[in-house]
Structure 1
C-alpha cells in the first residue's frame, strides 16, 4: 500500500524540475528559477536558495551613479537591487507574490518599485520618482524604467490584470494597485474630490493615475501599502 504522506512522496511532489525554459524559469507561480551563466540584477533580499557558485553584490555608488543613489535614498528600500554573478541555479521569491516573466525586445516598461523581481544585466534601468504626487500621497510613489532587450520578472499580489489604453478610452487606476505600464505612456495624477469626501481624506482612492494614449497598464487585485506611506 502506497504511503500517501511519506517523506519520499513529499520529495517527489515538491522537488525541482528543469522545464528547459531557458534563463528565467517559473519553478512555481511564486518561485523564479534563474539558470545563471553570468550576471543578473534582482531585488535585494529576494534570494531564497541557490546551487553552484553565485556571488551577491549590492549596487555600488560608482556603478549606478550619484543620481540613482540620491533617488534611491528618497524612495526607501523598495528599489534596492543586487547583482547575482556566477554559474548555477538561483531561486528568487518576494513574499509569496505571483511572478510573471516578460521579454523585452527593444521595448521600454515602467514597473512599480515594489514589484520588480529580476532582470537581465544588459537592460538599461533608472529609478523615477513621481514628485508631482508627493504632496498628495506621503512621499510620492516611485517606479523603475526598464529599456532594451532581455527578460524581466515582475510580481503581483494574486492574478494581474492588463488593461489596454487607447486614444479614445483612457484608463484610471489606484496608484497602490498599479504594477506596470508600457514605456510610451506617461501617467497623470488626478484627484477625485467627491470620492475623497465620500471615503475620507486619508484614502488613497481619492488619487488616481490617468493613462492616456496607446499602450497598456497592469493592475493587481490588492492595494499595496508602501514604506513611505506608512512613515508619512
Structure 2
C-alpha cells in the first residue's frame, strides 16, 4: 500500500490541466469537462465542479412527446442533466473506465447505462429493443448519437472493439455490449445449447447478432439491469 506525506499525496493526485480541449481524461475513470456553454451528462454523474455552472434535469417535454413516451418505457436509465456555464466539471460513474469519442458527422449506438456525457451539438434518440424487453431484466435500451462533437462512454474494465464484416458476423452477450456503429442493426437470437455457457445475467440463451460492416464494443463484465419500480 502506498503511503505518502500529505504534501506528497496532494502532489501525486492533484488536478492537472492537460490542454486537451473540452473533454479531458483527468484519470482513466474521471472526466474533466472544460465547460464554456452547455453539455449533457448522465444524471447523478457529477462528482465536483468549479466556476459558474448551473445544473438542470432534463425537462419532461423538452424533446417532445415521442422521447417522453420512450423514457417512460425505459425508466430512469437515460435520465440526463444539462450543465450550463463556464468552469470545470468532473464526471464519473461507479469507477467505470471512460473513453472519449470524437464524432465527425457519424453515428454510434451506446447502451443507455454506458453513456456518460456528450456535447449539445450531438443529436440523440432513445431506442428501446421492445422485442426483448420482457426477456431481459429491466429491458434493454440504447441511445443513438449522431453529429459532430465529443461523446464520453463508460465500460467496466478495458473495452474491446470487434470488427464486423459481411462474411463474419459478431455475437455478443447483451449485458456485456457497450456500443456499436450507427449503421448496424442487431438482431436477437436464442440458442439453448449456449445456456450453460453464456449470459448469466441476460436470460442465458439470448445473444445479439451483428451483421454487415461496422464494429461492436464489449466489456469483460455483465451489467444486470433492474426493472423500474412502478
- Common fold, TM-score beyond 0.5? yes
Name the counterpart of 1:137: 136
Name the counterpart of 2:110: 111
1:135 Cα deviation from its structure 2 partner: 3.4
Structure (1/2) with the larger helix percentage:
1
Runs of 5+ in structure 1 lacking a partner? none
Q: Distance in 2 between matches of 1:25 and 1:167?
A: 35
1:77 Cα deviation from its structure 2 partner: 1.7
Residues matched between the structures, number: 228
Q: State the SS of the aligned residue for 2:17.
A: coil
Question: Residue deviations 1:32-81, cap 9 Å, x none?
Answer: 00000000000000000000000011111231111111211211221000
Name the counterpart of 1:174: 173
1:196 Cα deviation from its structure 2 partner: 2.9
1:201 Cα deviation from its structure 2 partner: 9.5
Name the counterpart of 1:29: 28
Name the counterpart of 1:216: 215
Contact 2:133 2:140 (C-alpha < 8 Å) held by counterparts: yes
Q: State the SS of the aligned residue for 2:94.
A: coil
**Residues 31/150 of structure 1: CA separation in 2 closer, same or farther (3 Å cut):** same
Runs of 5+ in structure 2 lacking a partner? none
Name the counterpart of 1:58: 57
Name the counterpart of 2:186: 187
Contact 1:158 1:220 (C-alpha < 8 Å) held by counterparts: yes
Q: Distance in 1 between matches of 2:180 and 2:191?
A: 22
Name the counterpart of 1:84: 83
Name the counterpart of 2:101: 102
